[in-house]
Amino acid sequence: MIDLHYWTTPNGHKITIFLEETGLPYNIIPVNIGKGEQFKSNFLAVSPNNRIPAIVDHAPADGGKPISIFESGAILLYLADKTGKFIARDVRGRTESIQWLFWQMGNLGPMAGQNNHFSNYAVEKLPYAIDRYRNEVNRLYGVLDRQLADRTFIAGDYSIADMASYPWIVPHERQGQKLADFPNLKRWFEAVRARPAVVQAYEKAKEINPNPPGIRTAEERAILFGQTAASVRAATR
């Protein structure tokens, strides 16, 4: 059994997609990040960066004590290796999946996160910051569109690279992007969206958090947007 410390955000969806695709048994432990549950000590014990998602695998391959993992890319890679699914076995295919997984982790996720922050959450609308991140996300959509011009999925066969990127394309309207400008990306997006496991993962999210994504109360904003080292110190004391 896998414990999944989860909230209903793009990085959380990546892991429910993988678990639904493979049918691995899992147990969701909700971590409501708007209420500050990411600072609870039981969560920090598995996720020291106070961010979801994290997992605990109670039946690791070596038969030893449970393994806990944080960072969604590391989790996807761990689960792909554990199951032998959604990552190619040959060195070239495996490297292709891993490099696009890292591309998502280092580019699409962080830039889309900042774009969302400055375009949607920031009270003060700063044109320089909004343009900077919206343009960068636009560039990244262009990179994906080009990559998908001559292949069905990002790294060839459907893999953890697709599972990592898909949840970050879902909010394309909030990101100020037009999917119609990226025909290959749009075709891929629709193909991934139609997968039963992907539908199931998003249904699960609605069960856990019926509130529409992207709406933040004043209380939630204070928890999410005012973090410093003091927040971490206070949590671990």
Which stretches of the chain bind ligand GSH, using CB under 6 A?
9-11, 33, 38, 50-53, 71-72, 105, 109, 224
Q: Which residues of 65-88 are buried (b: 16+ CB within 10 A; e: fewer)?
A: eebebbbbbebbbbbbebeebbbb
In the bound complex, what is the minimum distance in angstroms from residue 164's beta carbon to ligand GSH?
Answer: 8
In the bound complex, what is the minimum distance in angstroms from residue 43's beta carbon to ligand GSH?
Answer: 10
Q: Are 152 and 98 a contacting pair, CB within 8 Å?
A: no
In the bound complex, what is the minimum distance in angstroms from residue 128's beta carbon to ligand GSH?
Answer: 23
Residue 149 vs 222, nearer CB to ligand GSH = 222
In the bound complex, what is the minimum distance in angstroms from residue 132's beta carbon to ligand GSH?
Answer: 19
Residue 62 vs 173, nearer CB to ligand GSH = 173
Residue 6 vs 153, nearer CB to ligand GSH = 6
Q: Residue 81 corresponds to which tokens in the numbers above?
A: 């290796």
Q: Which residues of 128-157 are buried (b: 16+ CB within 10 A; e: fewer)?
A: ebbeebbebbbebbeebbebbeeeebbbeb
In the bound complex, what is the minimum distance in angstroms from residue 173's beta carbon to ligand GSH?
Answer: 18
Closest residue by Cα to residue 154 from 203, 120, 189, 115: 189
Residue 38 vs 150, nearer CB to ligand GSH = 38
List, in order, residues 6 or more apart from 176 with CB less than 8 Å away.
115, 119, 134, 137, 138
Residue 71 vs 157, nearer CB to ligand GSH = 71
Residue 52 vs 56, nearer CB to ligand GSH = 52
User: Which strands form 26-30's sheet, in the order they lie side by side?
Assistant: 26-30, 2-6, 54-57, 67-70
| Cα distances (Å, whole numbers) of residue 224 to 39, 117, 187, 195, 207 | 11, 11, 34, 32, 22
In the bound complex, what is the minimum distance in angstroms from residue 25's beta carbon to ligand GSH?
Answer: 22
**Measured between alpha carbons, how far is 193 from 167 in angstroms, rounded to an integer?**
10
Kindly state the DSSP code that residue 212 receives in the 8-state scheme.
P
In the bound complex, what is the minimum distance in angstroms from residue 151's beta carbon to ligand GSH?
Answer: 24
Residue 9 vs 165, nearer CB to ligand GSH = 9
